[in-house]
Chains A and B, each alone.
Chain A
Amino acid sequence: MTPTIAVRQLWKVFGPRPERVVGTPLADLSRAELRARTGCLAAVRDVSFEVARNEVFVVMGLSGSGKSTLVRCLTRLIEPTSGEIEIDGEAVREMSAKRLRELRRHRVAMVFQHFGLLPHRSVLDNAGYGLEIQGVGRAERRRRAAEVLELVGLTGHEQQLPEELSGGMQQRVGLARALATDPAVLLFDEPFSALDPLIRRDMQAEVRRLHAEVGKTLVFITHDLAEALTLGDRIAVLRDGELVQVGTPEELVGAPADGYVADFVRDVPRADVLTVRWIMRPAVDGEECEDTPLPSGTVIRDAVARVLRAERPIAVVDGGERVGVVDAEQLLPALLGHRRQVPA
């Protein structure tokens, strides 16, 4: 099956004559060296990844790592310097201005960090903006805008102006606007960074709920590791414009690709993310196990009670096949191991 989004060797270089960088020795320089030598900034360097249908793909990195540039390149809000982008198998960089507008109108919608709402329009008209510029009639677009507003829980606020709403509610309007055109792909550019922590958690739950209900392909940009782990089916870690690692939350925490990622995930409670697969040991011949085995996808925390109560090791099974065993000895390092050693 063709991936919904495919990105291959994508580069975005800002600065004078950026085309001279890619495919030359300059491309191998570090970011700082390139900047000193040419005055160019390589915001995205040779990035490739694929996003499958209905997947939640999170791009995570610190500020300045190029993640916002990357997501804007997908619909050419920022024109990439080189590389390929395909959405549903169609090359985005070859699209005419008209075709690109069609893409933005019908297939890919975006939610922004600072909402980007139109202050002079009511909530209802903001949500219906995408439909309006497609030429959808007034009655129809109001009906659909009202529907998506209900979906994001804003019924009753239709006639208010954006500035009369709280930050969290404003972002719900942004979400409704993106959903109104029923796109296959939703791009989120740090959508909840401007919100306070409690609201942020609500909104993350909202996104999970919407994803379960409407089933879209999501590309989610964030600098918040907890958010990435909560939402992502897969996470891509971006550093200085380069992809460091792409993997499931489990893979990132269990097998960080390098010191940078390891440093990133050090404070993550491993028991919450890793499954028993990561701590099991091979069974010793003739070993007696508990009667009920654990599926290998069980998160460690959920296994704690059973393992500690058991008198014998518990078998771990993948499908019908036994792949290993766990007992308290494996459990404890996983529970404690994430604590950073701070001298007293």
Chain B
Amino acid sequence: MTAVLTRPTSDVAEPESPRRRATGRTVSGILIVATVVAYLVFHTTAAADAPDAAAFRFLGDVRDWVDANRDTHPVFLYGVNYLRLGVRLLVDVVRAALAGLGLAGLVAIAGAIAFVLGGWRTALLAVAGLLGFGLLGLWPESVDTLALTLTAVLLSVLIGVPLGILAARVRWVGAALRPLLDVMQILPTFAYLAPMTLLFLIGSPAAVVATLIYAVPVTIRITELGIAGVAPSAVEAATALGSTRRQLLTKVRLPMARPTLVLAVNQTIMMALSMVVVTALIDAPGLGVNILRALERVNVGAAFDAGLAIVIMAIVLDRVTTAAARRRRRDWRIAVPVLAAAAVIAVLPIPDGLPRISFAKPVNDLTSWVELHWYDSTEGLKNTISTVLLNPLENLLVTTPWWLFTLAVLGFGLLVAGWRAALIAGAAAAGLSALGLYQHSMQTLATVLVATALTMLLGIAAGVLSARHDRLAAITRPVLDAAQTMPSFVYLLPAVALFGASRFTAIVAAVIYAVPPVVRLVERGIRDVPATVVEAALSAGSTPRQLLWKVQLPMARGGLLLAANQGIVMVLAMVVVGGLVGAGALGYDVVAGFSQREDFGRGLAAGLAIVLLGVLLDRLTQGFHRAKGPS
């Protein structure tokens, strides 16, 4: 998804001189040697994590306390519980409205809105998409998902847009929000489901709040960008004419930022949809439940229908809102009769008698065929990567004592990312052990690193190719567009279909999930190399290969590092979700925490460990990008 699309990448560090670069090389050489020596001396036998660490007990106790005081403590009595009821009410109202319209009514109204916003093509897409839910026999589930998504989006916009405007206009609000949003955006979806259930119990309210937390940073960020991006000359001119602050906002800033604001809504919807599907884990109704159940039984066919419905929903919502973002004159006179006609259709009692289509059987047939005929190659690939990369790396990490790992993170962090990022990353590394989940964290980290390496390899290759061949880029661009609007859950399906349930499946899903944005960033980085430099290199007689290696790739370094940063964050999110399909480690701990009461503490701790791992990886790569990137 486009979760990480709008992370700020400012703070250009001063250029480092070649001489400093040389000393840097010496220091990192010494550091590597020291780490290797320390590892050889101190490596452990990788004792499994204790099943009952202090952190787990503490978190379990917290849960027990909350459960005991849920109906008596004032924070719950007058705060959280009302919030829960309010959100529940809102969800129920939205769902009742959608369900009350019925299939025909909703199709008519959605079609009418799409027509007004985007023209007949968009309307056709919307009608076909919504009818698709009925045809797939997933109408009630789709309505549930849609209701949760719309509720969360509504709240996100209500909270996010004013905050975004404030952040853009009031310096300290922006400064205070920025680090908070940074952390919120690297949180893998899995991480905050457990705390939500602690506060809001399971079900729709917790799902909506979790989705809100996941989606609102994007709303705030893009709104801020839009408002801050309004041309100062226009504001100056309006001020010179005597506008009040309110007039400036309503007549200049908001109208001028309108396309960006619509983009903010669009991105919020995409994020929310992606998260709503995942909240099936905490008992939210909807399409996610179908996928989850099917995944638990490794029944790809059954998951496919629901996955298809989610993809359709994503595409319809994306196209309609993107169409709304396009600035063009709309004839509202057409809108009135169209909407009226839609309303009439909606009121007419039309039976929902639709033929049913299901792709479950053909997909399952295909999956078995793949299993039968490709078994050797998929198994070979799986085993090769496992033995050559994954196992040695995992073995190395789990046998490293936690303090050596922390020191190494600190040392290399200091070298590549500056002391602030190094301290944060080091603290996160130490925290993994404090949570009593060091071994599991290292297993997850190994998977993440391998998946990131594969992602970067594929992403850079594809990015370079599409930067050099315009025709290829024209073909891949819509594919990448579509890929970035898909909710993360969907990516598990092809991975499971090809590789069954295993650790490797999570790697494959993560690679599929993270490659599209990496391709994009790499391509843009290479295309952004100034034409005059390329021309100068060509006129000196560079071969295409020399051009790539000596000019384009070094100059696109900022883009490559940013791609690595975003890739690693996305890979972590997906690897953790892979806990559902046999990836084990932290992801599994989280899932187990939802299902078994006695594992709650461990699950919550695992969620925290995922957050720490995310912070660690993000700080190191982001710091590296800032310190070394834009040279």
Contact = CB atoms under 8 A, between A and B. Distances in A.
Contacts of A117: 533, 536
Contact of B555 (A77, A104, A119): A119
A51 interface: no
Given A161-B15, A163-B15, A116 B555 contact: no
Contacts of B15: 161, 163-164
Contact of B541 (A119, A134, A159, A160): A134
A106, A116, A122: most-surrounded residue (chain B CB, <10 A): A116
A123 to B, nearest CB: 10
A130 interface: yes
Contacts of A105: 540-541
Given A101-B543, A161-B17, A115 B532 contact: yes
Contact of B533 (A75, A110, A118, A133): A118
B484 to A, nearest CB: 30
Contact of B535 (A106, A112, A161): A112
Given A112-B532, A118-B533, A133 B540 contact: yes
A121 B550 CA distance: 10
A159 B550 CA distance: 18
Nearest to A163: B15
B233 interface: no
A192 interface: no
B245 interface: no
Nearest to A187: B539
Nearest to A132: B550
A109 B555 contact: no
Contacts of B542: 101, 133
B557 interface: yes
Interface in A277-332: none
Contacts of A132: 550
B576 to A, nearest CB: 36
B405 to A, nearest CB: 32
A153 B216 CA distance: 57
Given A105-B540, A160-B17, A116 B631 contact: no
A154 to B, nearest CB: 15
A177 B17 contact: no
Main secondary structure of the interface of B (DSSP, over half): helix
Given A101-B543, A104-B540, A129 B550 contact: yes
B20 to A, nearest CB: 10
A102 interface: yes
A114 interface: yes
Given A161-B15, A161-B17, A114 B537 contact: no
B533 A101 contact: no
A159 B539 contact: no
Interface in A179-196: 181, 187
Interface residues of B, number: 23
Contact of B554 (A75, A118, A163): A118
B533 A120 contact: no
A105 B539 CA distance: 8
Interface string B213-247: 00000000000000000000000000000000000
Contact of A133 (B535, B546, B554, B555): B546
A175 B584 CA distance: 60
Contacts of B537: 116, 118, 129
Interface string A119-144: 11110000001101110000000000
Interface in B495-535: 530, 532-533, 535
Nearest to B542: A133
Nearest to A108: B539
Contacts of A122: 18
Contacts of B19: 159
Nearest to A125: B18
B532 A114 contact: yes
B256 interface: no
Nearest to A161: B15
B551 A118 contact: yes
A113 B530 CA distance: 13
Given A116-B532, A116-B533, A109 B550 contact: no
Contacts of B554: 118, 120-121
Contacts of B533: 116-118
Contact of A129 (B17, B18, B540): B540
Contact of A77 (B538, B546, B551): B538
B539 A177 contact: no
A133 B550 contact: yes
B17 A159 contact: yes
Given A112-B532, A132-B550, A133-B546, A118 B539 contact: no
A109 B539 contact: yes
A77 B547 CA distance: 14
Contact of A104 (B541, B551, B631): B541
A130 B631 contact: no
Contact of A120 (B532, B536, B631): B631
A114 B542 CA distance: 19
B536 A116 contact: yes
A135 to B, nearest CB: 10
Interface string A151-165: 000000001110110
B346 to A, nearest CB: 50
A101 B541 contact: yes
Contacts of B550: 118, 129, 132-133
Interface string B545-564: 01000110011010000000
A120 B551 CA distance: 9
Nearest to B546: A133
Contacts of A115: 532, 536
A191 B337 CA distance: 64
A102 B540 CA distance: 9
Contacts of A106: 541
A120 B16 CA distance: 10
B532 A119 contact: no
B538 A130 contact: no
A101 B544 CA distance: 11
Contacts of A120: 554-555, 557, 631
A161 B557 CA distance: 16
Contacts of A177: 536, 540
Given A116-B536, A118-B533, A102 B541 contact: yes
B555 A118 contact: yes
A75 to B, nearest CB: 6
Interface in A75-94: 75, 77
B24 to A, nearest CB: 15
Contacts of A159: 17-19
A105 B546 CA distance: 13
Nearest to A103: B541
A120 B559 CA distance: 14
B536 A110 contact: yes
B17 A104 contact: no
Contact of B539 (A104, A121, A161, A164): A104
Contacts of B17: 159-161
Contacts of A160: 17
Given A116-B532, A159-B18, A161-B15, A109 B540 contact: yes
Contacts of A119: 555, 631
A213 to B, nearest CB: 22
Nearest to B544: A97
A179 B561 CA distance: 35
Given A117-B533, A119-B555, A104 B538 contact: yes
B535 A116 contact: yes
Q: Which 5 residue pairs of A and B lie closest in terms of their CB atoms, listed nearest first?
A: A116-B536, A105-B541, A104-B541, A110-B539, A116-B532
Given A121-B554, A129-B540, A133-B550, 5 more contacts: A104-B538, A104-B540, A105-B541, A116-B537, A133-B546
Interface of A: 75, 77, 101-106, 109-110, 112-122, 129-130, 132-134, 159-161, 163-164, 174, 177, 181, 187
17 contacts: A77-B539, A104-B540, A105-B541, A106-B541, A110-B539, A114-B530, A114-B532, A117-B533, A118-B550, A118-B551, A119-B555, A120-B557, A121-B554, A129-B537, A130-B541, A160-B17, A174-B536
